[in-house]
Amino acid sequence: MSRESAAALDTGVIHAELSRLFGFSSFRPNQMEAVTAILRGGDLLAIMPTGGGKSLCYQLPAVLLPGTALVVSPLISLMKDQVDGAVANGIRAAFLNSSLSAEDRAGVMRALLDGSLDLLYVAPERFALDHFQELLGRLQISMAVIDEAHCISEWGHDFRPDYLALSAIRKIRPDIPVAAFTATATPRVQEDIVQRLGMNDPSIVLASFDRPNLSYEIREKTGGERQLVSLLKEFPGQSGIIYRTSRKSVNDTAAMLSAKGFSALPYHAGLSDGERLRNQDAFIRDEVDIIVATVAFGMGIDKSNVRFVIHADLPRSIENYYQETGRAGRDGDEARCVMLFSMGDIPKVRFFIDSMLDEEERARALSSLSKIVSFASSTVCRRKKLLGHFGEVYPEENCGSCDVCLGTKEVTECTTEAQMLLSAIIRTDSRFGAGHIVDILVGADTQKVREFGHDRLNVYGLGKGKPKTFWRRLIDELAARRIVARSEGLYPVLYPLERAMEVLKNGEKVEMVRVEAKRPGKHAARNAASDTLPGDQDLFERLRALRKELASSQGVPPYIVFTDRTLHEMAARKPTTPAEMLAIPGVGESKLRKYAQPFLDLLRGRP
C-alpha cells in the first residue's frame, strides 16, 4: 500500500471529506465498507440497491487517491448529469464521449493528461477503442469503476455485448483496483461479473435489497383510461414514471394524459434521438411531471425525486420490476410503486417470448414470466416475496408498507364454483381459453359459443349469478394452486392438472383469497424520519420553486442543486446562517458557496 493510500484510509480524513464534499455526517449502510475496500487497493464487487448511494462509494475514494478514476457508464445521455452532480459537490470530473465537440474533447484530454481530474466518465464503446486503451496504459489511473456491472453477464437482465470488452481492463492495468457496482445481481450473475472482469479475490459488499422508503401495491387491472387517470390523481404535481410494454401504448397513454390535463411525455426507442433526449431532459429537469416509457427508459437515471412508478403492464421479470421500481425515492423520501395486473397481460408477453429463436433465451424468459406472475398474484407480503427472490429473508411478518400487509384478506369458500369451472374445461375437451370458458359459465350469447354448441352443455349459464371478474379471479386462483394450468403459445388454453380430480370427485375444499388494499390518502413526499410538519409544506414548495429557478439558470437538473430530502430538512429546521445551513444533510462546502445564499434569504423572509 502506498503512503498516499495509507493516509487516505485515516477514518478522520474519510469522514471529514464526506462532510466537506457531500454534506453528510455519517455513511449510509455499507458505504464505509465499500469505500475502505477501494482505498486499500483491492478489487470490489458491490451489490447495492438503487438509491443506496453507490456513486459516493467511488467518488469519495477518487478524491482521496492520487490519479484519475475511470468510470465506465452505459448511457452517454446521462453522463453530463453525473458529472454535473460531482462538480456541484466540488469534485473535479468530466466525461468523454461523442456528444462533445472536438474543442471540448481536446479540453478534457488536456485535463486528463495534466492529472487535474478526479473522475473521468466514458462509455464502454470508447473503452473498446485501441488508442484509448493504449492511453490508459500511460496515465495515472487510481481505479477502474464499472457501473451497471450486471450488463457484462449474459445471465443478467440487461446484457450488453459492448460490456464484454471491459474484460481487457485487467490486462491493460493489472496494477489498479477494479470496482464493480450494480443494483441487481443473482449469485450466478455475481460469479460472472467477477470472472469476466478478472477480479482478484474481491471484497464483496452485498447490501440489503430492501428499500424501506418504497411501498408496493398490486391492483387488479380493469383496463381503460379511467383507472389510470384516477390513480394519477393520487400524485398531484409529483414526478413519476409509467411503464408500458409497447411503443404504441406509450404514445397512446402519453397523448391521453396530455389531453386530460396531465403534464406527460412519451419515451421509447421508436422516437428520434433528439425527441427522446428532449423528453428525458424535460423530465429530469422537472419541466414535465410524468414520463410514459417502455423499458428503454431508466438505466442509470439519477433523478432523485421520482415519487411514484406505475407498471401499467406486466414487467418482464422480477429483476426488471425491482430495478424499475428502484427509480423511485432515490433521495430516501417515501415513494409508491403500483402495478396494474391482469392475467390477460400474459398472452401479450408470451407472444414476444414465443418469437425468440434461441431455446435457452426462451426458457429463461418463460421462467422469468412465471416468477413475476407468481409475485403479482401472491397474497404474501410483497416485500418478503421480492427480497426472497434475491435470496434475502425479510425478518418481519408485516412490512407495513405493501397492499397485502396494509390491507385485509377476504377468504371466500368457492368449492362448488371451482367444480363448475373444472367441469366446463373438461366438457370442452380442454381446447379453449379462459375467456370462452367464462362465457359458457355466465351464459353469454356469442357466435363462438353457438358455433361449438356449447350453449347446449349442462354447465352453460350455471355461473350467471356471479360477474365475469369473479370467474377470472377463480381461474387465477386455481392456476396459482396448481389445479389448472395454461398451455404455452400465443392463445393459451386451460387444462386440468392432477389435483383437479380431487376437487371434482372428492370435494377438496377450494378457497379464494382476495386482498382488499387500504388506499393511501394524499401521499406526502417526505421521509418518515424528517421533522417536516404539514404546515411547512408551503415553505417546501417555495424552496422547490427557488431550486428550479436556480437549476434552470445554470442548465442543470434541480436535484443537482439540492434533493427533495435536503429541502424538507431546510423547511423543518429553517436555517438562517451559513453554519446552520452547513449542518443540513446534503449541503457540503461547495454547494454552500454555490447555492445557499438565495435559500437563506428565502428562509430569513427576505424578498
3-state secondary structure 140-198: CEEEEEECCHHHHCCCCCCCCHHHHHHHHHHHHCCCCCEEEEECCCCHHHHHHHHHHCC
- 176 pLDDT more than 60: yes
Residue pair 90/114 in contact (Cβ under 8 Å)? The answer is no
How is residue 148 written as a grid cell? Answer: 451497471
- Number of domains the chain contains: 4
d(CA 570, CA 209): 29
What is the phi/psi pair of residue 317, to 5°? -160, 170
d(CA 149, CA 184): 9
- 3 pLDDT more than 50: no
pLDDT on residue 125:
87
Residues 64 and 140 in one domain: yes
Within a domain: 68: yes
Tell me the one-letter amino acid at 438. Answer: V
User: Residues 113-152: pLDDT tens digits?
Assistant: 999 999 999 988 888 888 888 888 889 999 999 988 888 8
Residue pair 176/140 in contact (Cβ under 8 Å)? The answer is no
CATH number at residue 367: 3.40.50.300
Within a domain: 525: no
Residues 68 and 188 in one domain: yes
User: Exposed (0-12), middle (13-18) or buried (19+): which is 229, by Cβ within 10 Å?
Assistant: middle
Residues 433 and 575 in one domain: no
- Indicate the pTM of the whole model: 0.75
pLDDT on residue 529:
39
Residues 278 and 397 in one domain: yes
- 534 pLDDT more than 80: no
How is residue 486 written as a grid cell? Answer: 395454461
d(CA 602, CA 595): 12
What is the phi/psi pair of residue 592, to 5°? -60, -45
Pick from 206, 237, 255: which residue ends a domain? 206
User: Residues 226-275: pLDDT tens digits?
Assistant: 999 999 999 998 999 999 988 999 999 999 999 999 999 999 989 998 89
Residues 202 and 219 in one domain: no
5 C-beta neighbours (distance < 10 Å), count = 18
Residue 446, SS3?
coil
Residues 290 and 230 in one domain: yes
d(CA 299, CA 151): 11
The mean predicted confidence, pLDDT, of the chain is 87
Pick from 473, 488, 516: which residue ends a domain? 516
Q: 386 or 530, which is more confident?
A: 386
Within a domain: 239: yes
Q: Please state, for a pLDDT cut of 70, what percent of the chain lies above it.
A: 92
User: Residues 443-491: pLDDT tens digits?
Assistant: 999 999 999 999 999 999 999 998 988 898 888 788 877 898 877 665 7
Tell me the one-letter amino acid at 448. Answer: K
pLDDT on residue 518:
64
Q: Which of 90-94, 329-333, 601-605 has the highest mean pLDDT?
A: 90-94
Tell me the one-letter amino acid at 338. Answer: V
What is the phi/psi pair of residue 264, to 5°? -140, 145
Residues 575 and 507 in one domain: no
Residue pair 219/515 in contact (Cβ under 8 Å)? The answer is no
Within a domain: 449: yes
Three-class DSSP labels, 262-274: CCEEEECCCCCHH
Residues 373 and 431 in one domain: no
- 2 pLDDT more than 60: no
Three-class DSSP labels, 300-321: CCCCCCEEEEEECCCCCCHHHH
Pick from 467, 486, 516: which residue ends a domain? 516
Within a domain: 370: yes
| Residue from 352, 349, 333 nearest 341 by CA | 349
d(CA 563, CA 306): 11
pLDDT on residue 531:
47
Q: Give the N- to C-terminal CA distance of the chain in Å, as an integer.
A: 54
User: Residues 190-240: pLDDT tens digits?
Assistant: 889 999 999 989 999 988 889 999 999 998 888 778 999 999 999 998 999
- Percent of residues in the chain assigned helix, strand, coil, to nearest 5: 50, 15, 40
What are the Cα distances from residue 458, in Å, to 2, 427, 443, 453, 570?
A: 85, 9, 11, 11, 70
| Residue from 256, 251, 264 nearest 227 by CA | 256
pLDDT on residue 343:
74
As a residue count, the chain comes to: 607
Residues 197 and 340 in one domain: no
Residues 397 and 415 in one domain: no
User: Residues 89-118: pLDDT tens digits?
Assistant: 999 999 998 888 899 999 999 999 999 999
Instruction: Band the pLDDT of 422: cuts 50, 70, 90.
Output: very high
244-248, 291-295, 298-302, 517-521: lowest mean pLDDT where?
517-521
240-249, 265-274, 401-410, 497-506: lowest mean pLDDT where?
401-410
- 425 pLDDT more than 90: yes
Within a domain: 527: no
Across the range 287-294, mean pLDDT stands at 94
Residues 231 and 348 in one domain: yes
pLDDT on residue 528:
38
Across the range 70-82, mean pLDDT stands at 83
pLDDT on residue 522:
38
Domain that residue 282 falls in: 214-407
Residues 366 and 423 in one domain: no
Within a domain: 294: yes
CATH number at residue 494: 1.10.10.10
User: Residues 5-47: pLDDT tens digits?
Assistant: 555 568 889 999 999 999 999 998 889 999 999 999 999 999 9
d(CA 563, CA 558): 8
How is residue 368 written as a grid cell? Answer: 422469468
Q: Please state, for a pLDDT cut of 90, what percent of the chain lies above it.
A: 49
Across the range 504-524, mean pLDDT stands at 68
Within a domain: 529: no
